[in-house]
Chain A
Amino acid sequence: MSQPMILEPPSDAELMSRVREGDREAFADLVDRHKDPVVNYLVRLTADRDRAEDLAQETFLRLFRSAEGYTEQGYLRAFLFRIATNLVRSEERRAQRLRLLMPFLPREEHAEPAAHSGLLRRELHREVSAAVAKLPLRYRVPLVLHEIEGWSYVDIAQEIGCREGTVKSRVHRGRQKLKEKLEPYWNGGTAWKTTG
């Protein structure tokens, strides 16, 4: 009696080679496989759910368009994260130019933190996310990749093209800056005060 054959899911490399030939189904499989990590990464970089979703879509579109020139190196997700990082960088530069162009734009008002104790956890996450998103990109990317995505220093160094020591230093500096940003909140900001 022959044993049932178990089909291994195709690897990223196999799917990418099919994408190169214009296979939309293979592309859809790739999107399905990587969409959640890419969206999560972008939410952490931007602290904006809608923007992250839009940038994630654009990330996959760029992957499709660059499939011809893509060289398989065994880690497609790193390539996607690189595209996503570049998109955030470009978008922030555009936003900066726009701010320079229109100096009379009103500043974004931050909503008052909710005081209800039941919302504290969500509020804390919101504060941390916002503080992360305000870090300069050179600290934000390594910090998110290391602390949230769990990448090693070596992998990050390889991905962003700098030395491991530089990555360590940026992660450390990112942590320090994040602590400074969260310090007022940590030391009895309004959201920590419970009612009653």
Chain B
Amino acid sequence: MIRDIALPPHEIAQEPSGLTLVAVQRRGVPLFHARLSVPAGASEDPRGKAGLAQFTADLLRRGTMRRDARGVDDLIESMGTGLGIEVSLDEAALSLTVPGDLSRHALDALLEVALEPSFPENEVASARRRTLASLQSDLDEPSSVAARAVVALGYGPQHPYGHPAHGFRRDVETFQREDALGFHASRFNARGALLAVVGTAAPADLLALARERLLQVKWPSDARRAPLDFASLPRQGMRALVWHKPDSTQAQVRIVASGIPRRSPLYMPGVVQNAALGGGFTSLLVDAIRVDRGLSYSVSTRLLMARHAGLSVFASFTKNETLRELLDVALEKMAAYARTGPSDEALTKAKSYLSGLFPLGLESHEALAEQIADSILDGLGVNHLATYRSRLAAVKAAQARDAAAQLSPARDGTQILVIGDGEVGRKALADLCPVDVRPIEELA
């Protein structure tokens, strides 16, 4: 009998500034975690400034109104922790985990870095050089290249999600101090932001601590911004893009189609059917590609769900000689699955699998804060977590079938991405769909 998970004691408060405060009590290991999410994700990058959200977030720690970069390092790292900086499509999130007795110090440090950056001119220039070097260096890692290519191609260049968070070389080269200052001033709003704190104290005490520390800082902006246009352009016909990486003996493969946002009614059946198709170690595709044929070490499908849109992605890799075989098997299996959906046995197994593993995502302070923050910011509410297992259990075969048909990575308009040897890719894909081969340097 599957029961829902009782979330640990928590309180959620909406502050007059528009900030959402979340306090969660987690007993056991004496740690304190704070996570500040602000509506400053990669989708907010201005046109021609792809990567500015990430660039701005990275610069936060390179100097504040109270201390220089070295002083910021000392402030944070003397506590024995690193500052987490994540820029997703929708948010920028800063986080810290420290021993519980340093909670006040940690909150002060987090808020100072997030809300009082000084963006020194020399640090901006240095960060620009580092980012450009990283963009070039990342080309040596096929998985990083694939991740960049998936969002760029999956959403398309006109979509707010249609570029990698670190941006493109041509845009990063133009970044100036004013860009970072302007981005910070206009996007680091209390309205739309969320501060989550997790510790051993009672939620009311944690809330009081957060409010007390928030009095010490001022939010840079309360400007309202025009909503972005997240409409997707329909695509027709399959096409392939091969990013040429010389002397590769293995090809990274992604098959990408449109997916769903996190708030979609298809969310739960989508998650279930995806687990049966390409999740875990016993999915249909793992069986067909790894277990039965030994074609790859890693096979998966994922629904990449952001707040306003999503992608459905098949991912694997194989040696050059079996690239076409892997593609044929994957496309055939996924097309068939889109017609039939999961078998009754596979559906039951997928639901049990997801249900059993769900609590693992709530174990650590960091995971708990992130899950609760995202649920609130996505408009799902903590009920999304509290009822997760019963909603999983309630997914019917017809719903899973319908979701499989709508979300298969192998549909009309799907894009095939290959990162590997250009000629190998061209030959393997030639009679499958139109193929474009480009040098990998174009992805920087």
Question: A and B: real partners?
Answer: no
- B residues whose Cβ falls under 8 Å from a Cβ of A: none
Residues of A bordering B, CB below 8 Å:
none
